[in-house]
Amino acid sequence: MSVRVRRIYDPPEPDDGVRVLVDRLWPRGVAKDEAHVDEWPKGLTPSTELRQWYHAGEGSYEEFAQRYEAELAAPEAAKLLDHVRELARKGDVTLVTASKSPERGHASVLLRLLDGR
């Protein structure tokens, strides 16, 4: 059982397990039937305000991660995070994102929380 992050633009692989889209908006240029997304919990994604703040370059990745973790503590998001955690207990999970730099975005925060790092 593992959790990993991949870009949605990369072709699906047999060992992806459950593919969970962790972006609030559907990625441009990706057909839904070709994405092989099993779940899309929009309530697990950063708020529009936080996403826009971070992409505007107004704060550091560390501050973004702290603010995002605070959002994930809200009841709805916490419930969705627990659901993905349960999926990971049962098998492999791949968090898919359109982000050009997943290691400096919300997917890496989710990965750390799901892996217990």
Residue 43 neighbours by CB under 8 Å, 6+ apart: 76, 77, 80
pLDDT of residue 59: 84
What SS3 string covers 35-82?
A: HCCCECCHHHCCCHHHHHHHHCCCCCHHHHHHHHHHHHCCHHHHHHHH
pLDDT of residue 22: 97
For the entire predicted model, the pTM comes to 0.92
Amino acid letter, residue 93: V
pLDDT of residue 115: 84
Amino acid letter, residue 79: K
Hey, what are 67's tokens?
Answer: 């603010």
pLDDT in tens, the chain (117 residues): 699 999 999 999 999 999 999 999 999 999 998 899 999 999 999 999 999 999 888 889 999 999 999 999 999 999 999 999 999 999 999 999 999 888 889 999 999 999 865
